[in-house]
């Protein structure tokens, strides 16, 4: 089908083969190149369409954004042209980031302005919540771990997005990564002198943002970097509650969003959200880095403290696991006085002691703020109870299906330790940075899967298929890989210390920089295509 972009057209739908609209006569090929298929959205300043590039082989899809000034006066037209050129410039500047849409083309045609962008196939976070329900705390933490580095990148170019909301965040279908779209409201960071000029004020009046997601200073056309932080905070509340800001109450005296009673999150996470949502710019987080610092340390230390309490100490454990949360299977790494984890452990103990002194309690049984209860609420420590993927809590061991694993992963659940997952088909699935410590994975199909930086310490992987899997920096300490198929697997930097590799097939595997002994290699099958830890290829030398 071809779609006419003339807003006055009485019947914009046309057959795919025609060159001119049968209703109004408008050309159906924009710039003799882009054939519009359907309208994606329409606003006060233009419309967005899904189109195909008729010149490129295969006619790949793209998004055409049409800016239509609301008046014909030269002054308005010039401001529209500046807004258009600014968006094109910004998209061209930041579009190399893998989670931002690339600018493919831009041009002016008959006093209308067109931007052509990469088409992102997937569902928005708004659609995800409507279909699958609210996110768990772990799912929202995972969301923040993706959106905040994007904000760091955008802000590093002195750009304020100004319209972050669930409808502008798409989870790309092919890799499940979040992509931030719609940079029509972006604002270059300007100095005070420029901000006070009438030209700048008139220009920024074109796009303020979305009410409810935009903080007061942005609605007053004085946005700062922290304005994007506020919008991310409101998005977090939406993900946790399934309610848009217009459906939540406000404090009539301060204007603050009343969200706390609507969500069930740990005290630490609630304090982070409170600071993101502070009405006062002065007291709000000023950067994405500050939030990442507050979020990264606490859950890792909580998990570490829990693991220190339950980790078995049989055998001389060596090496180090992935830096993400979960059990590492390495007690010596925890207790080494010079290791980073020992310093973190000392920090959490000191913090816990200070908290205990203030509250007059000790140990892990301090009610809601205890290490055990707080780590469990984030998906660490104690085994989660029976649940379903939409609730964000894991089912009991032995009940998980491959679809459950995929759904949990998308919602931010990464801890699958001590689960019974034998013979599941998880081929070509992205499960990077997951925790499968001590899980039963015998016969599981991980062929072509991404398990990079995952923790598989003490896991049972007998006869598992890991052919062509991505296992960079994966942790296999004391894992049982007897008879496992690792042909063509990428094991660069992986820790295989003490792993059972009897009969494992390492033909064509890349072991560059991996921690593995000569005795272990002698028990496995290798060939001329195997790359050894020293980076050399060839048959195993005695």
In our burial notation (b when 16+ CB lie closer than 10 A, e otherwise), range 318-344 reads ebbbbebbbbbbbbebbeeeeeebeeb
135 within domain boundaries: yes
Yes or no: say if 522 and 503 are a contact pair by the CB < 8 Å rule: no
Report the percentage of the chain scoring pLDDT > 70: 74
Q: Which CATH number is 275's domain given?
A: 1.10.510.10
Q: Write out the DSSP string of 58-127.
A: T--EEEEEEE--S---HHHHHHHHHHHHHHHHHHHHHTTSTTSPPEEEEEEETTEEEEEEE---EEEHHH
Q: What is the C-alpha to C-alpha distance for residues 250 and 287, in angstroms, rounded to an integer? A: 25
Does residue 115 carry a pLDDT above 80?
A: yes
Q: Which of 118, 141, 175 is the last residue of a domain?
A: 118
**Scanning the structure block, which residue is given the tokens 């052919």?**
467
The reply to whether 215 and 260 lie within a common domain is: yes
Residue 231 has pLDDT above 90, yes or no: yes
| pLDDT (mean) for 357-364 | 42
Number of independent structural domains in the chain = 3
- Helix ranges (H only) for 177-254 are 192-195, 198-204, 216-219, 225-241
Q: How many CB atoms lie within 10 A of CB 480?
A: 20
Burial 461-474 (b: 16+ CB within 10 A, else e): bbbbbbbbbbbbbb
Active-site amino acid positions: 163
Q: Do 325 and 368 sit in the same domain of this protein?
A: yes
Mention every residue, 6+ apart, whose C-beta is less than 8 A from residue 53. 33, 34, 59, 60, 61, 62, 104, 116
Co-location of 132 and 226 in the same domain? yes
Residues 160 and 234 both lie in one domain = yes
pLDDT confidence band for 47 (50 / 70 / 90): confident
Position 112 in a domain:
yes
Distance (Å) of CA 266 to CA 142, 260, 274, 281, 363: 15, 11, 12, 24, 18
Residue predicted with more confidence, 210 or 297? 210
Of the candidate ranges 76-90, 108-122, 421-435, the one whose mean pLDDT is the lowest: 76-90
Nearest to 44, CA basis, from 185, 225, 165: 185
Residue 167 to residues 122, 146, 181, 213, 296: CA-CA distances in angstroms?
12, 16, 9, 11, 26
Q: State yes or no: 65 annotated in a binding site.
A: yes
Which one of 100-109, 110-119, 120-129, 176-185 scores highest in mean pLDDT? 120-129
Chosen domain end from 233, 252, 286 = 286
pLDDT at 325 over 90: no
Radius of gyration of the chain (CA): 27
Supply the pLDDT for residue 538.
Answer: 65
Q: Which of 441, 515, 496, 475 lies closest to 328, judged by CA?
A: 475
Q: How confident is the model over 8-45, as pLDDT tens digits?
A: 899 999 998 899 999 999 999 999 999 999 998 876 56
- Summary mean pLDDT of the chain: 78
| Whether pLDDT at 392 is above 60 | no
pLDDT of residue 69: 65
**184 and 200 belong to one structural domain:** yes
What does each C-alpha distance from 401 to 383, 398, 404, 425 come to in angstroms?
Answer: 17, 9, 5, 9
Same domain, 52 and 195: no
CA distance 450 to 473: 11
Tell me what the mean pLDDT of segment 286-315 comes to. Answer: 58
In 220-366, DSSP assigns E strands to none
Residue 236 covered by a domain: yes
> Phi-psi bin for 21: left (phi > 0), alpha (psi -120 to 50), beta?
beta
Please check the confidence at residue 6 and state whether its pLDDT lies above 90. Answer: no
Whether residue 505 lies inside any domain: the answer is no
Measured between alpha carbons, how far is 493 from 474 in angstroms, rounded to an integer?
A: 8
Higher pLDDT, 325 or 411: 411
Q: Calculate the dihedral angle through the C-alpha atoms of 443, 391, 295, 286, rounding to the nearest 10 degrees.
A: 140
Mean pLDDT of 487-494: 93
User: Among the three residues 351, 377, 403, which one is the final residue of a domain in this structure?
Assistant: 377
How confident is the model at residue 159, as a pLDDT?
87
What domain range includes position 93? 2-118
Q: What is the H or E stretch that residue 160 is in? A: strand 159-160
How far is residue 457's CA from residue 313's CA, in Å, rounded to a whole number? 13
- Asked, for residue 451, whether it belongs to a domain, the answer is no
Same domain, 132 and 280: yes
Tell me, yes or no, whether 180 and 272 share the same domain. Answer: yes
Q: Is the pLDDT of residue 414 over 70?
A: yes
Mark whether 183 and 264 lie in a shared domain.
yes
Together in a domain, 145 and 282: yes
Q: Is residue 96 part of a domain?
A: yes
Residue 75 maps to which CATH number? 3.30.200.20
- On whether both 164 and 177 belong to a single domain, the answer is yes
Clarify whether residues 193 and 267 are in a common domain. yes
| 3-state SS string for 385-412 | CCCCHHHCCCCCCCCCCHHHHHHHHHCC
Distance CA(364)–CA(350), nearest Å, equals 14
pLDDT (tens digit per residue) in 71-104: 667 777 777 777 778 778 888 888 778 899 888 9
- How deeply is 148 buried, as exposed, middle or buried, from its count of CB atoms within 10 A (0-12, 13-18, 19+)? buried
**Which of residues 96 and 213 earns the better pLDDT score?**
213
Q: Is the residue at 536 inside a domain?
A: no
Residue 396 is assigned to a structural domain of this protein: no
Round to whole Å and give the CA distance between 202 and 83.
11
């Amino acid at each position: 089908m071809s779609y006419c972009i003339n807003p006055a057209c009485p019947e914009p739908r046309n057959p795919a083969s025609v060159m001119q609209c049968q209703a109004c006569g408008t050309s159906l090929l924009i710039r003799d190149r882009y054939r519009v298929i359907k309208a994606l959205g329409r606003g006060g300043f233009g419309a967005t369409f899904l189109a195909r590039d008729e010149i490129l082989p295969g006619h790949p899809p793209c998004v055409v954004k049409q800016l239509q000034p609301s008046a014909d006066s030269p002054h308005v037209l010039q401001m529209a042209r500046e807004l258009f050129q600014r968006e094109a410039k910004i998209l061209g500047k930041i579009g190399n980031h893998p989670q931002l849409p690339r600018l493919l083309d831009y041009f002016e045609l008959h006093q209308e302005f067109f931007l052509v962008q990469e088409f992102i196939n997937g569902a928005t976070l708004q659609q995800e919540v409507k279909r699958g329900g609210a996110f768990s705390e772990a799912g929202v933490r995972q969301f923040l771990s993706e959106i905040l580095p994007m904000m760091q990148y955008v802000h590093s170019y002195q750009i304020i997005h100004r319209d972050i909301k669930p409808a502008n965040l798409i989870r790309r279908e092919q890799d499940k990564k979040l992509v931030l779209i719609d940079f029509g409201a972006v604002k270059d960071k300007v100095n005070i002198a420029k901000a006070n000029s009438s030209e700048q004020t008139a220009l920024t009046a074109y796009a303020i943002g979305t009410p409810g997601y935009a903080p007061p200073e942005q609605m007053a056309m004085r946005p700062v970097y922290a304005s994007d932080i506020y919008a991310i905070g409101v998005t977090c509340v939406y993900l946790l509650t399934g309610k848009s800001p217009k459906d939540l109450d406000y404090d009539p005296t301060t204007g603050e969003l009343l969200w706390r009673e609507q969500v069930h999150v740990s005290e630490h996470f609630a304090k982070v959200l409170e600071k993101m949502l502070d009405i006062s710019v002065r007291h709000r987080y000023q950067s994405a880095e500050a939030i990442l610092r507050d979020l990264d340390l606490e859950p890792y230390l909580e998990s570490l403290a829990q693991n220190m309490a339950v980790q078995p100490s049989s055998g001389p454990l060596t090496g180090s696991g992935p830096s993400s949360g979960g059990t590492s299977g390495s007690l010596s790494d925890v207790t080494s006085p010079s290791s980073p984890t020992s310093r973190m452990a000392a920090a959490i103990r000191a913090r816990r002691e200070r908290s205990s002194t203030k509250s007059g309690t000790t140990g892990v049984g301090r009610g809601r703020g205890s290490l055990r209860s707080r780590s469990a609420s984030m998906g660490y420590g104690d085994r989660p109870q029976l649940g379903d993927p939409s609730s964000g809590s894991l089912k009991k061991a032995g009940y998980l299906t491959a679809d459950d694993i995929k759904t949990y992963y998308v919602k931010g659940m990464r801890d699958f330790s001590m689960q019974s997952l034998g013979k599941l088909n998880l081929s070509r699935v992205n499960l990077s940075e997951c925790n499968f410590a001590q899980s039963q994975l015998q016969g599981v199909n991980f062929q072509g899967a991404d398990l990079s930086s995952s923790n598989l310490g003490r896991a049972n992987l007998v006869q598992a298929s890991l052919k062509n899997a991505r296992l960079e920096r994966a942790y296999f300490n004391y894992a049982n890989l007897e008879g496992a198929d690792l042909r063509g697997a990428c094991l660069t930097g992986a820790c295989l210390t003490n792993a059972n590799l009897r009969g494992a097939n390492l033909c064509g595997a890349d072991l560059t920089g991996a921690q593995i002994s000569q005795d272990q290699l002698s028990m496995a099958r290798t060939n001329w295509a195997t790359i050894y830890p020293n980076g050399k290829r060839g048959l195993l030398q005695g």
